[in-house]
């Protein structure tokens, strides 16, 4: 029989609401600081009082502590398992860098998305599509569940979406391609892209469709304030291959196959970020939004500062060095 003093009611994706034992307890900001101290984190560059304010009203413990994996721990001795020279200020610095990195890549992904939409509408017109039949054929090609989900989403938004609702409602009886592509999410845009590539027998563009999935993954992380940098660790190596589109772009820009390139591109996040840069250069190029170009220009010195601060022993640094080179060749 469960001990009522330890029993907690929780929700899980598999079992729904259920009773469980021995779960990790919720902690106060004061307790979180003690947890960090116990792991060897110091509070010299950022005073404990300021750290308490940050954990209380600026950023969560879970988000900031996610960057700990980038720093070394003592392997043996009395401090085994504790961090080596890690200050709370370092966690804040990496978090701030990640904020700028995330926003820069969100803007790049937005440029790519806009470029894909523009190409699809222009290509449809150039190929003599009437703009309506292609939408009907696309929706008819979708699996029933996907098709019904798309319809429900558009019907709901036509009634409740302050920003796109009136546009959707105006074309509810006959949706043209130039409207559909403005109101569907990135995932549906990619499905439509693949549909058109096959409809128009553009076999050479199929690889771009699969590369765009990497852009979508980066965009989703960036749009929802996820962490990027904490994935630059050896434990996150993947067997997933880098997009052929990205590899060709790297070769064309002088970043040839090498031990260093292969090492960096064994990391899934590095793959996705590099693919985003490549597609941004290929599809948006000189038409990139000024805000995106400004964001890249602002990001680069922050990357250089982190590279200089943390040295070669930090796994973040080797990935930043590689990504900086990729961004630089894209900027010309």
- Rounded Cα distance between 119 and 121, Å, is 6
Q: What is the distance between the alpha carbons of residues 12 and 14, in angstroms, rounded to a whole number? A: 5
Distances (CA, A) of 26 to 4, 10, 30: 18, 13, 12
CA dihedral 82, 84, 89, 93 (to 10 degrees): -110
Tell me the per-residue pLDDT of 265-294, one tens digit each, with 9 for 90 and over.
999 999 999 999 999 999 999 899 999 999
Query: pLDDT tens across 37-92, in order?
Result: 999 999 999 999 999 999 999 999 999 999 999 999 999 999 899 999 999 999 99
Look up the pTM and report it.
Answer: 0.93
Residue 83: phi and psi, rounded to 5, are -75, 150
């Amino acid at each position: 029989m469960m001990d009522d003093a330890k029993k907690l009611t929780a929700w899980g994706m598999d079992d729904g609401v259920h009773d469980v034992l021995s779960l990790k307890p919720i902690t106060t900001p004061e307790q979180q600081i003690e947890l960090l101290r116990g792991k060897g984190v110091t509070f010299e560059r950022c005073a404990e009082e300021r750290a308490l304010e940050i954990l209380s009203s600026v950023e969560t413990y879970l988000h900031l502590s996610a960057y700990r994996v980038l720093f070394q721990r003592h392997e043996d001795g009395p401090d085994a398992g504790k961090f080596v020279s890690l200050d709370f200020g370092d966690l804040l610095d990496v978090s701030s860098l990640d904020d700028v990195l995330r926003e820069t890549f969100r803007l790049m992904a937005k440029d790519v998305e806009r470029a894909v939409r523009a190409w699809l509408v222009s290509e449809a017109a150039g190929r003599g599509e009437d703009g309506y039949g292609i939408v009907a054929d696309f929706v008819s090609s979708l699996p029933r569940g996907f098709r019904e989900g798309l319809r429900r989403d558009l019907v709901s938004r036509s009634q409740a979406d302050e920003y796109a609702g009136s546009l959707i409602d105006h074309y509810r009886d006959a949706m043209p391609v130039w409207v559909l592509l403005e109101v569907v999410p990135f995932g549906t845009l990619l499905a439509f892209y693949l549909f058109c590539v096959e409809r128009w027998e553009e076999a050479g563009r199929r690889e771009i469709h699969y590369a765009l999935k990497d852009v979508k993954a980066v965009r989703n992380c960036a749009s929802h304030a996820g962490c990027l940098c904490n994935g630059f660790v050896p434990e996150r190596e993947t067997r997933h291959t880098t997009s052929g589109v990205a590899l060709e772009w790297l070769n064309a820009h002088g970043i040839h196959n090498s031990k260093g390139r292969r090492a960096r591109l064994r990391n899934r996040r590095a793959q996705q970020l590099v693919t985003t840069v490549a597609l941004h250069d290929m599809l948006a190029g000189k038409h990139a939004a000024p805000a995106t170009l400004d964001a890249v220009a602002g990001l680069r010195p922050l990357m250089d500062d982190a590279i200089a601060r943390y040295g070669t022993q930090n796994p973040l640094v080797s990935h930043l060095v590689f990504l900086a080179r990729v961004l630089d060749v894209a900027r010309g």
